[in-house]
Amino acid sequence: MKNKKENNITAMGKRILIVASVLMVLAGLVGMLLEVHKMSQDTDLTLVKHDIVGDYDELYDEYFPRHYHATGLLTLPFDDIVEPFEAWFAGDRNMSRIDYYYGMDKTIQRGDLGKHGILFKIVPMHSEMKPSNKDFMSCWYKPVPKWLPRAGQSVIPTNLSEFKFVSEETHRGMPCFKYERKYKRYNKSNVYSFYVTKNTPHRPLRYEMVGYDDMLTSHYDHYVLDYISFEPWSFNRSLLSLPKNSSCDKKAKKLRSHYLANPMAEYMHFKHHKDYELDKTYDDYKATHGKHYTTAPEHERRKHIFKHNLSRSDDDGEGFLCRYIRSKNRENLNYKLAPNHMADMTEQEVNLHKGLLHEKKLKKSKSNTLAFNESVVHTDLIPHQLDWRDYGAVTRVHSQGLCGSCWTFSALGAVEGAHFLKTGELLELSNQQLIDCSWPAGNHGCRGGFQDRTLRWVKRNGVTSRRDYGPYLAQEGFCHCGKSDNCTFTHISGFSKVKKNNSDALKVALVTHGPIVSSMNSDQKTFRFYSHGIYDDPKCGKKTNHAVLTVGYGADDNVPYWIIKNSWGHLWGDDGYIKIAMNHDRCGLTNGPLLAIKKDSSIAEFPLKTLNKVPRQSITFYSEEELSIIPF
């Protein structure tokens, strides 16, 4: 019995020693963690890699709340867009709301609704034929696809591990820490900068991306998010509910919109997995073109599209970006390709960037067809080449952005040219007014429109300048500039059709009437990635689906072409333009609608005789000093 008792005591002592040893180890670990924590406190927001907690890292949770309210400005200098926003974010509840332009447009993401979550878009619509201030709210919703997990949209990066501390600076009069993520691929250098207040509680001040082409020594991309206010937010479900006075129009729901998703997701930068060559290539592509996806599943889906879109063929699934581009460029074609922002888009998404609608039943009428005098074609009245940019009749290239509004850029380009011929003034007219106000004419805002109906609307109401109406928003807004508003309008007396399938008729129309409202087929990948040269892909069909503006014609090595102004920004194509081969009517340019604005009686029959050539407009990079903060 005594031996048994001694054995029990000995066993108990061993257990006590084991427990004491474990406690000592734990104490040591706690001490190490406290030391690491102290070091992180001493370095103030030194961003290093941490284990990921959900879609966040530990550093985010240490310095920023999961629930917050923020206001700020999204600035796209190259597109002249300054977009005020206000955001409510409930990260752990998978909910968010972002208002743009002081509540005019709202996006609500609810991960708690539907099978995989639902995105809501609430925008104003206009029902009267004439411009007025009478708008009503319309809402559309879109179920979140299976591959996209339920999540709210943050307006600050939720994963900060890719950024490194750079310096302490003063930004907007406040001491702050600057963090950067630098990315370089070939001649493209991208810098993502994140400014955070030095004082606690820490607040974001600015998130900025600047892309620079070392070979061309010029900037190619730039966007800025300036945060005006940022504070913790006590969750309020009513702010994330649909407004009681909104209505979801059945017709609107059927019309697809590529702006239903939250546009802020395009600019937030998050961590993605990096594995093999494809991962590296795709990461380089995203950095070059400012692509940022909020979740790993969406990144993987886009990478898969990227791989298949840019392989040697549509179905082999092999090869990377450079293979397709280099393969096509090695064919010694009359044009060259280059990668752009469409490389990881589906065919459906690319189609949504067009926006041209056609009448289901065409009315046969010859009464408004432009008279064509064939006898002047081979005289000196019709020059061998013409580019209306050389005479100052074409405004700068703009990007329609995530909005199917190509019909507005096509129609107004011709109206701007007619106004120039009449007055000598190059005036930028308001695409946004047509998006906001021409619904009664049958147009559908960012979901498409008709060129002829648009010109009839302009004939009836006139169109105001971009300066008077306000900047282009790339989404639907409140219609204004009615009779009570002090807006200056440009009017047209009408328009005429140009004879179709006749290159000579289009040449004469260009010489006598200025830039012509046109359309073309834009389905081919070669068109999507066009860079320069004369585009003559024989696979480009004749059924037109994208509205453009024809501004001239010419020939290189006896290969004639049309000069086309696109609305996909100056980063696409040849500074926003493309040369389309005349032979075989490539892409159906003369097969689709061709509309010329009726000339004022004061304009000469052949106005080129009275005009002198002028220097081309140059693309300007805007410095930070020029991007002043607008009070929220």
Query: How far is residue 444 CA from its own chain's centroid?
Result: 19
Q: ∠ CA(528), CA(448), CA(154), 5° rounding? A: 75
For 410-421, give one letter per residue: b (16+ CB within 10 A) or e: bbbbbbbbbbbb
Residues known to be catalytic: 406, 546, 566
pLDDT single digits (tens) 44-99: 333 333 233 345 677 788 889 989 999 999 887 765 667 889 999 998 888 999 99
pLDDT single digits (tens) 384-437: 999 999 999 999 999 887 788 999 999 999 999 999 999 999 999 999 999 999
Helices 451-461, 406-423: crossing angle, 10 deg rounding: 50
pLDDT at residue 449 in the model: 93
- For 330, the 3-state DSSP assignment is coil
pLDDT at residue 144 in the model: 62
Closest CA to 184 of 283, 320, 276: 283
The residues near 164 (Cβ < 8 Å, ≥ 6 apart) are 47, 179, 180, 181
Q: What is the 3-state secondary structure (H, E, C) of 243-263?
A: CCCCECCHHHHHCCCCCCCCH
**Could you tell me the pLDDT band of residue 250, with boundaries at 50, 70 and 90?**
very low
3-state DSSP percent of the chain in helix, strand and coil, to 5: 30, 25, 45
DSSP 8-state class, residue 242 = P
The residues near 572 (Cβ < 8 Å, ≥ 6 apart) are 340, 341, 530, 566
Residue 377: both structure tokens together: 């074609």
pLDDT at residue 521 in the model: 94
List Cα–Cα distances, 240 to 85, 105, 248, in angstroms.
15, 14, 17
Residue 29: both structure tokens together: 């670990």
CA distance 109 to 75: 22
pLDDT at residue 50 in the model: 29
Closest CA to 440 of 450, 432, 430: 450
pLDDT at residue 21 in the model: 53
Report the pLDDT averaged over residues 540-569. 95
The H or E element spanning position 124 is strand 118-126
pLDDT at residue 8 in the model: 53
Q: Are 88 and 240 in contact (CB under 8 A)?
A: yes
pLDDT at residue 85 in the model: 92
Which range is least confidently modeled, 119-128, 153-162, 163-172, 546-555?
119-128
Higher pLDDT, 186 or 333: 333
- Does residue 501 register a pLDDT over 80? yes
Decide if 58-276 and 351-369+383-599 have a common fold. Answer: no
End-to-end CA distance of the chain: 85
**Could you tell me the pLDDT band of residue 225, with boundaries at 50, 70 and 90?**
very high
For the chain, the structural domain boundaries read 58-276, 351-369+383-599
**Could you tell me the pLDDT band of residue 15, with boundaries at 50, 70 and 90?**
low
pLDDT at residue 197 in the model: 95
pLDDT at residue 199 in the model: 93
pLDDT single digits (tens) 425-479: 999 999 999 999 999 999 999 889 999 999 999 999 999 999 999 999 988 999 9
- For 302, the 3-state DSSP assignment is helix
- Does residue 148 register a pLDDT over 70? no
The backbone region for 417, taken as left when phi is positive above 0, alpha when psi lies in -120 to 50, beta otherwise, is alpha
> What CATH superfamily classification does 351-369+383-599 receive?
Cysteine proteinases (3.90.70.10)
Residue 548: both structure tokens together: 């453009």
Q: ∠ CA(420), CA(421), CA(424), 5° rounding? A: 55
CATH 2.50.20.30 fits 58-276, yes or no: yes
To the nearest whole number, what is the mean pLDDT of the chain? 78
pLDDT at residue 51 in the model: 33
Handedness of CA 266, 268, 272, 277 (dihedral sign): positive
